[in-house]
Structure 1
Amino acid sequence: MGRQLIKFIGALLLFLPFGSVQGQEEEVSQAYWVHEDLVKPSMVSEYEKTVKELLNLLKTHEIQITGWIALNTYDASYSFVSPIKSMADINHQVFIELSEKAGKETVSEIFKRMDKCYDTELDYVIHLDKELTYMPNGITLTPEGENFRTMHWLYVSPGNRAVVKEHMIAVKDLFTRKGSPVHYRVYRSGFGADGEHYLVAIAAKDALHYASRSLENDELLGDVGQSVMSDLLSSLLKYKQKQGEIRPDLKYAPN
């Protein structure tokens, strides 16, 4: 097997069996496979054009065993998120089927052009944690009309794992008691992730909506809220934040 074919197969591992996202969200803890491309800023237009070519190819040939939602953060990172039941759900059949229907050379050429747009690609697993998630109206990854995202990464040291979780529970309890307008989903890091962490994702209509609702929440929670959040942040190994948006135009959902 030649090196180009090995690279071709590796690139296609980002495509995984796609179940009903809403149905799977009813489970206690849903796992997701994330493929992330760290795109060169100068290549963003070319990258998006190439991804859309791939989407058209999948739609044209009615590939049914793969799908994802797409997230684009403002540092030119693109993440493709697919629900899985286990690591065994990684299925090579999708690129075999696509190559058979569209032609191996056609598909390979798309990925060669895509590869030129980034130097780093990542693959890892995260787990939606319903216990820590605060979405009183029902859990969904894509609240209607709210494609803007703010993500908070809360990194945890092994020795402080229990303490951090206690603080996460305290935050949710406070939000629940006060009826906070800021709803959020919590994910736990899994296989291949960049260190042990919680990922807190908050949806909004846009940056202004996020900021105004955050101010409203601060006023609602008051001094108690500041104390609870301070306790959480002081227990972390490290913290980072990014903003971006869900990209419906880069999503793939089979019929």
Structure 2
Amino acid sequence: MKLIIKITSFIFCAFLSVSLWAQEGKAQAFWIHEDQVNPSMRMEYEKASKDLVAACKENNIQTINWAVASMDDGTYLSITPIENLADIQNKNFGDLQEKVGEEKFTKMFENFNKCYDNHGDYVALLLPSLSYMPDGLSTDTPGKNYRVWHRMDVSAGNLQKIEGKMKELKDLFASKKSKMHYRIYRSGFGTMGDYYTAVISAKDALEYDTMSKENDNLLGEDGQKLFGEVFKYVEAYDVKRGGMRPELAYQPTALSNNTVKD
């Protein structure tokens, strides 16, 4: 889960450049904490998550909020919208620690730590210019908590080229009035290498698979050709499935304007 992070001036200055880039590109930055939970510990991890949510609700914690997505491989993502790196420092569990006491607070996070061997934090940027949501860009998709993540790793020299092709792809989806809507995220501060992730929402796996097949037929040869051109610039490609977990999320009333669903 999330950690109280000490921010050095060097890191803060580095993120400022990312923040300015996001504002100029009208992107939204998200702080993501990733836990790679061991298969045998998923139930205990989710219990620890629910206990943390309950403690935050009971103590009316207003200093932090997060959504949670879980992937079929045991990866859990805690997701919080931010304006800049200072938000990560400000959004912390200090208030909860003060209210529940050091011993109980430490125990809560020890319950998380025993569930995984690897975890960490990074920033992702939602890119409106590459996303296709003709009804309005939003991470909130009511009734569609199922998610599919398509990750494409790209070398630094091919970033502009692939973005050009992804814009062409968005135009093709729009011209065909595709019902498969997607959001594009780009890797940001705290990651090694560059990658893009297309996130698609659906009611369930059946709806996604049906929609995907219909979309392939709709785009036809034009789609096959353009996807082929996109993948010329992809170094590695990975698909994961899962969904949003609202029962593991925490959203205080005071932060209701900063909600996020993926």
TM norm. shorter chain > 0.5: yes
Consecutive unaligned residues of structure 1, counting only runs of 5 or more, are 1-7, 14-26
Q: Supply the distance in 2 between the matched residues of 1:176 and 1:94 (Cα, whole angstroms).
A: 41
Quick one: which amino acid aligns to residue 252 of structure 2?
P
1:11 is matched with 3
Query: Is the 2:36–2:75 Cα contact (8 Å) retained in structure 1?
Result: yes
1:204 is matched with 202
- Matched residues, percent identical? 41
RMSD: 1.8
Quick one: which amino acid aligns to residue 11 of structure 1?
L
Query: Is the 1:11–1:111 Cα contact (8 Å) retained in structure 2?
Result: no
The residue matched to 2:138 in structure 1 has which SS? coil
Q: Supply the distance in 2 between the matched residues of 1:194 and 1:49 (Cα, whole angstroms).
A: 31
Q: Supply the distance in 2 between the matched residues of 1:11 and 1:118 (Cα, whole angstroms).
A: 15
Q: Normalized against structure 2, the TM-score is what?
A: 0.86
1:14-68 CA distance string (max 9 Å, x none): xxxxxxxxxxxxx921100000100000000011001110110000000012101
2:111 is matched with 113
1:124-158 CA distance string (max 9 Å, x none): 00001000010001111120100111101111111
Query: Is the 1:63–1:94 Cα contact (8 Å) retained in structure 2?
Result: no
1:31 to 29, 32, 49: 29
Answer with 95-104 or 79-88: which moved more. 95-104
Query: Is the 1:36–1:121 Cα contact (8 Å) retained in structure 2?
Result: yes
Quick one: which amino acid aligns to residue 176 of structure 1?
A
1:209-238 CA distance string (max 9 Å, x none): 000001111111111011011111122111
1:5 is matched with none
1:235 is matched with 233
The residue matched to 1:249 in structure 2 has which SS? helix
Q: Supply the distance in 2 between the matched residues of 1:53 and 1:102 (Cα, whole angstroms).
A: 12
2:79 to 75, 78, 81: 81
1:70-114 CA distance string (max 9 Å, x none): 000000110000000011112357322111111111111010121
2:137 is matched with 139
Residue 194 of structure 1: how far off its partner (Å): 4.1
Aligned positions of 1:1-255 closer than 5 A: 11-13=3-5, 28-91=26-89, 94-255=92-253
Number of matched residues? Answer: 236
Consecutive unaligned residues of structure 2, counting only runs of 5 or more, are 6-24, 254-262
Q: Supply the distance in 2 between the matched residues of 1:183 and 1:93 (Cα, whole angstroms).
A: 31
